[in-house]
Amino acid sequence: MRSARIFLIGGVISYRALFNWARPAIYVPTMLGGPLFQILFFVYLGRYSGVRNDRFFVVGNAVQVSAMAGIYGMTMAIANERYMGTLAPLLASPANRPALFLGRALPQVANGLVVSVFGFLVGTTIVGVHLPAAALPALALVVIVTVCSCTAFGMLLGSFGLRARDVFFISNVVYFLMLLLCGVNVPLATLPHWMQEISRVLPLTHGIAAARVIAAGGTLSDVSGLVVREITIGVVYAALAYGLFRWFEIESRRTASLDRA
């Protein structure tokens, strides 16, 4: 029961403490304005190039924009604890570590879902892409799985913030590389072979592919293999992130690395 409270309430309190600056005047242009123009830019670029139809770009970008919360938000949620001087007292507490660590991810998952839903609304209301009503439950499940997987990847990047001086440069590079490597706007088949191999172990890749199949009228059974692969990737990244987090925590007690900016 105590671990559940740490997971739920602790995660929400941490989000409010670290992101209290994210007022509507900042949140809307950052988390919603950016995805709006990203989707419109690539849709109209796609129309000009004739590479794929509007649905290809809307679905790909509507899923990918959730990485703003999963990558940036999760990196900040862990790294900022150190920069603001709250991490050392937090780690000195006897709180359950998995609940403490994973609880930070819960608000970011919710935030990523909000941004992704907004992206699909942009695609349907402004661009005019039609999504079958019967496909929405399966599409929602795929998006939830993909957002969780992407957030787990953000955990891994954030864990480096316990040791690295500037982890935000890495998160910026990773976010924009995902636009290329995860099949968001460029068909994976057109990428060099070595890029395709990298894309297969990244979050978003299989989730975006599954979402496109469902948006085109497919069923959940048609994409079950893609969904399972996305779940597996998320679990692996979450395990690596937690292992790295615990290792850095143990090392910090020996070397006092958390006290060095």
Q: Confidence class of residue 260 from pLDDT cuts 50, 70 and 90? A: low
**What is the model's pLDDT at position 144?**
95
**What is the model's pLDDT at position 22?**
63
**pTM listed for this prediction:** 0.88
Instruction: Kindly report the average pLDDT of the chain as a whole number.
Output: 84
| Whether the predicted pLDDT of 95 surpasses 80 | no
| Whether the predicted pLDDT of 212 surpasses 90 | yes
| Digit-coded pLDDT (tens) for 231-251 | 999 999 999 988 888 887 777
| Whether the predicted pLDDT of 259 surpasses 60 | no
| Whether the predicted pLDDT of 152 surpasses 70 | yes
Candidate from 25-34, 71-80, 148-157, 162-171 with smallest mean pLDDT? 162-171
Closest Cα partner for 54 from 126, 103, 5? 126
DSSP state of 29: I
| Whether the predicted pLDDT of 201 surpasses 80 | yes
Q: Confidence class of residue 23 from pLDDT cuts 50, 70 and 90? A: confident
How many whole angstroms separate alpha carbon 246 and alpha carbon 236? Answer: 15
Any long-range contacts for 171-174 (C-beta under 8 Å, 24+ apart)?
171/71, 171/72, 171/75, 174/71
Q: From the CB of residue 32, how many other CB atoms can be counted at a distance below 10 Å?
A: 17
| Whether the predicted pLDDT of 170 surpasses 70 | yes
**What is the model's pLDDT at position 224?**
92
| Digit-coded pLDDT (tens) for 65-78 | 998 888 888 887 77
Instruction: Copy the structure tokens of residue 142.
Output: 């795929």
Per-residue b or e along 117-136, where b marks 16 or more CB atoms closer than 10 Å to that residue's CB: ebbbebbeeebebebeeebe
Contacts of 122 (CB under 8 A, 6+ apart): 35, 36, 39, 40, 58, 62
How many whole angstroms separate alpha carbon 74 and alpha carbon 241? Answer: 11
How many whole angstroms separate alpha carbon 50 and alpha carbon 52? Answer: 6
**What is the model's pLDDT at position 232?**
96
Could you give the percent of the chain with pLDDT greater than 90? 39
* Residue of 40 and 159 predicted with greater confidence: 40
Instruction: Copy the structure tokens of residue 32.
Output: 């919603």
